[in-house]
Amino acid sequence: MAEHVKVKIKPLTAEAFAPYGKVLEQKKLIYPEVEEGRVAMEMLSFQYRPNARIMDQMAIHFSYNQTFIPVQGSLILVVAPPPDSREGGPEEYAFDYDNVAAFNVDPGQAAFIYKGTWHNALTLGQECSFINVTRKNAGEGTSPAGEMEGKIEQAHAVRSYVEFVDMKKRDGRVIELEV
C-alpha cells in the first residue's frame, strides 16, 4: 500500500508560490519561454473526478515554462520544486515531498511555473475551463488534459518533451489533497 503524503490546498499568492513560479500581478510582466517549438495558448477543461484528491502521477519538463489561467471554475495546481540535477532521467529526478504544495487558482488568476517544476492540475468543482500557455511543436494539436490521467505511456507518446512519472510506482507514495 502506498504512503499518503497529505497536502493542504492554499490560496494562490505570489509569496507562497515563489519557490515554484510566479503569479501574474498588475503592472508586472512574465515572459513565457520555449527552447524548441513555439509558445502556444490553448483552451482546455477538466471534469470532476471522484478520486481527484489522490494523485499518483506528476509531470515535469525543462524545455519551457507553463502558465495556467482559469476562466471558469477553479483549478487546483499541485507543484514541487525543480530537482537540483537532471542526471539519471525522470525515474531518478529528486522529488521534494516535504515541499509539495497545492494552490487554488481562481478564475482570472495566472500561475506561471518555472522550467523543471513538478506539477499536476485538476478541479474539485464540476468543471474548470482554463487557458494553458505552453509549448507546441509544428502540427501538434491541443494537449490531452484530463484524458491521459493514469495513462503515462500514452501521454508521453503524445508529448515526448514532457516527462510523466508514476510516483506510486517509483516511490511508493501518492499525494492526497486535504480540502
Amino acid 38: pLDDT:
95
Say which CATH number the domain at 167 has.
2.60.120.480
Q: What's the grid cell of residue 82?
A: 525543480
Q: How many domains does the chain have?
A: 1
Phi, psi of 158 (to 5 degrees): -75, -40
Phi, psi of 97 (to 5 degrees): -65, -25
Amino acid 112: pLDDT:
98
Question: How many Cβ atoms are within 10 Å of 114's Cβ, its own excluded?
Answer: 17
Is the pTM higher than 0.85? The answer reads: yes
The segments of the chain whose pLDDT lies below 50 read 148-152
Amino acid 141: pLDDT:
78
Q: What's the grid cell of residue 103?
A: 494552490
The residue assigned the cell 490521467 is 149
Amino acid 144: pLDDT:
67
Write the pLDDT tens digit of every residue in 17-53. Answer: 999 999 999 999 999 999 999 999 999 999 999 999 9
Amino acid 159: pLDDT:
75
CA distance 161 to 139: 15
Alpha carbon 15 to its chain's center = 18
Amino acid 150: pLDDT:
47
State the residue range of the domain holding 101.
3-178
Asked whether the beta carbons of 166 and 56 are under 8 A apart, the reply is yes
